[in-house]
Amino acid sequence: MKFLSRRANRKIAVYQRELIKTHYAEVESMYRKMRGWRHDYRNHIQTMKTYAQKGDMDSIIRYLDMLDIDLKTVDTVIKTGNPMTDAILNSKITLAKDKKINVKADANIPCVLSISELELCSIIGNLFDNAIEASLRLPEEKRIIRVYMEVKETNRLYISFTNLTSGMKLQKIMGRYKSTKGAEHGLGLGRIDTIVKRLEGYISRNSEDGAFTTEILIPLTEEQSNN
């Protein structure tokens, strides 16, 4: 039994390291795009000055339209009030948009949380990855993920992820929704459950009306909820 426990712990540790490596790579990719755009800023200004000197307003307007489209691909999508949450959400939103998935996100949470960055990364990262994977099974026009995060009046952090599905209600096995991505995916779901349980929180998963929703409540201290 101890051997199996050590083996499971090693497997979880490896999974966590790979998860963090992936998330930080996504964050770095997002900021690399932002740095690249800022680096080109002077060149953009010089180009528009050239058009202005020629009195070519049509070219200026056309160039500004192109810059507006380009900026939307690197702009910070959401600001929650919590730096780590911003990094995770923005990197995942950028990844989803690259895959032609529409994301609607609304989040406002404290700057300081008792939940560790690793645990926060595991929860949000896994929820987003699952939603992205499910969305990719749908036509582009039906791909949408809704994210909502806030602190409830009961001093609990509320996290909700919803993604559209093919319309078929997912089936439960022994009270849990079965993973369709193999052992690693199942490990991610289990990791979320373990963290929520350790924090004495609550998690609910629901599949109905062509959508899959995960809701999580995590208790906060009075000091954290007021930050």
Domains in the chain, CATH or no CATH each: 77-225 (3.30.565.10)
pTM of the model: 0.65
What pLDDT score was predicted for residue 183?
Answer: 45
> What's the confidence (pLDDT) of residue 37?
61
Q: Is residue 162 within 8 Å of residue 146, measured between CB atoms?
A: yes
Q: For residue 178, what is the DSSP state?
A: P
The predicted structure's pLDDT at residue 184: 47
Whole-number average pLDDT of the chain:
77
pLDDT in tens, the chain (227 residues): 555 566 656 665 665 566 566 655 656 665 666 666 666 777 777 888 888 888 888 888 888 888 776 666 555 567 787 777 887 888 888 889 889 999 999 998 876 777 777 788 889 988 998 899 999 999 999 999 999 999 887 788 999 999 998 766 555 544 455 555 544 445 678 888 989 999 999 999 998 878 999 999 999 865 444 55
The pLDDT, as a whole number, for residue 63 is 83
Alpha helices in 40-175 (DSSP H): 41-54, 57-72, 83-98, 117-135
Yes or no: say if 193 and 145 are a contact pair by the CB < 8 Å rule. Answer: no
State the pLDDT at residue 227. 52
CB 218 within 8 A of CB 159: yes
* Residue (of 168, 72, 173, 92) closest to 133 by Cα position: 92
What pLDDT does 170 receive?
56
